[in-house]
């Protein structure tokens, strides 16, 4: 069972301190949401977990420092879906999703039967089987988001970090993706998703981290994190919060001007 540990993590991009002193431990079988306003440092925190930015403090996966693991070894343990990814070449959907198998290939080996199975499985789960031969740069926003998610799933890593997986998805596909991520966690994976839709976050995540100005403001079950006071303090919004019933809802009432 995989464990990801953050111990007093800070990240500076140039002179700007983007993440400040965040500690948390994530266990397998959890869908963790990272929420917070634009520029709060959510994506940078996610990138730090993949050793894509230099950081202070410790980030370890099962006790191994992520920055010291060879890139390919880390890639087999943490799959990553970056935010708003650009595709630089017009690959077919199948070829693009196949890139997810790169961490598993030896220097000279080619995609084998086991890889093909993983690719098929990822395509089936993200519901993109019928897009297989399409040019990935010519898909609609929603199709593209699902294809990129399938690419991340094809890695079949125990940890999946998804940065804004719901961006540009219609409500139906948002539910599909959240259910997929939830199922992934239920099956024993650790899924960490940067999210903006608080209702979706409350509905599907087991645990939420609320981040503001690089600091961890709250960490816990959605009901404990998404309180009226927290939303007011962090987002500057007045909101009606009802997380007790079967369908958690957060309704934004208005902006609070200081």
* Element housing 177 (H / E): helix 171-186
Is residue 111 within the footprint of another protein (CB under 8 A)? no
Nearest approach, Cβ of 206 to another protein (angstroms)? 24
| Residue 165 and residue 193 in contact, taking contact as beta carbons nearer than 8 Å | yes
Is residue 114 within the footprint of another protein (CB under 8 A)? no
Rounded CA separation 51/72 (Å): 12
Is residue 102 within the footprint of another protein (CB under 8 A)? yes
Size of the site for another protein (CB under 8 A): 31
Is residue 248 within the footprint of another protein (CB under 8 A)? no
The tokens 């790169």 sit on which residue? Answer: 102
Is residue 78 within the footprint of another protein (CB under 8 A)? yes
Determine the interface stretch with another protein among 24-32, 98-106, 182-190, 229-237 (rule: CB under 8 A).
Answer: 98-106
Is residue 204 within the footprint of another protein (CB under 8 A)? no
Query: Can you tell me which of 7, 25, 65, 90 binds another protein, judged by CB under 8 A?
Result: 90
Question: Considering only CA atoms, which of 63, 38, 51 is closest in space to residue 11?
Answer: 51
The tokens 């976050």 sit on which residue? Answer: 201
Looking at the Cβ atoms of 73 and 221, the one nearer to another protein is 73
Is residue 122 within the footprint of another protein (CB under 8 A)? no
Is residue 28 within the footprint of another protein (CB under 8 A)? no
Interface residues for another protein in 29-68 (CB under 8 A)?
47, 50, 52
Is residue 256 within the footprint of another protein (CB under 8 A)? no
Determine the interface stretch with another protein among 77-85, 113-121, 175-183, 219-227 (rule: CB under 8 A).
Answer: 77-85
| Residue 149 and residue 126 in contact, taking contact as beta carbons nearer than 8 Å | yes
| Residue 220 and residue 190 in contact, taking contact as beta carbons nearer than 8 Å | no
Residue spans of alpha helices (H) in 31-136: 42-49, 71-77, 93-98, 113-125
Contacts of 9 (CB under 8 A, 6+ apart): 19, 21, 22, 23, 45, 48, 55, 56, 57, 58, 59
Is residue 13 within the footprint of another protein (CB under 8 A)? no
Interface contacts to another protein, rule CB under 8 A: 47, 50, 52, 70-76, 78-80, 82, 85-92, 95-96, 99-100, 102-103, 105, 151, 155
């Amino acid at each position: 069972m995989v464990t990801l540990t953050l111990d007093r993590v800070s990240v500076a991009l140039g002179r700007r301190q983007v993440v400040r002193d965040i500690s948390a431990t994530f266990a397998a079988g959890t869908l963790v949401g990272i929420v917070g306003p634009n520029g709060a440092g959510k994506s940078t925190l996610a990138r730090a977990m993949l050793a894509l930015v230099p950081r202070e403090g410790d980030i370890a996966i099962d006790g191994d420092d992520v920055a010291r693991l060879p890139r390919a070894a880390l890639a087999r343990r943490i799959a990553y879906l970056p935010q708003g990814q650009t595709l630089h070449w017009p690959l077919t959907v199948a070829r693009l999703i196949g890139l997810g198998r790169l961490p598993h290939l030896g220097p000279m080996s080619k995609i084998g039967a086991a890889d093909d199975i993983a690719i098929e499985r990822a395509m089936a789960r993200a519901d993109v089987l019928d897009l297989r031969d399409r040019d990935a740069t010519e898909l609609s926003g929603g199709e593209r988001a699902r294809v990129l998610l399938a690419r991340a799933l094809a890695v079949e890593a125990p940890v999946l970090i998804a940065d804004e997986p719901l961006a540009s998805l219609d409500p139906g596909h948002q539910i599909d993706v959240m259910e997929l991520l939830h199922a992934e966690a239920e099956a024993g994976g650790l899924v960490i998703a940067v999210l903006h839709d608080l209702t979706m976050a409350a509905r599907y995540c087991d645990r939420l981290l609320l981040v503001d100005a690089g600091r961890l403001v709250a960490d816990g079950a959605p009901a404990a994190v998404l309180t009226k006071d927290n939303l007011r303090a962090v987002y500057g919004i007045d909101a009606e919060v009802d997380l007790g019933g079967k369908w958690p809802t957060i309704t934004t009432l208005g902006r609070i001007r200081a």
